Amino acid sequence: MFIHPSTLFGIVLIAAGVYWCYVVIKRLPEDLKEFGEIDDNYRRAAIVIIWFLTALIALGVLFFAIPVIVVIVKAIINLIS
Alpha helices in 1-81 (DSSP H): 5-26, 28-37, 41-80
User: pLDDT tens track of the chain, all 81 residues?
Assistant: 677 888 788 778 889 999 999 999 999 999 999 999 989 999 999 999 999 999 999 998 888 778 778 888 999 999 998
pTM exceeding the 0.75 threshold for the entire prediction: no
Separation of alpha carbons 68 and 7, rounded Å: 6
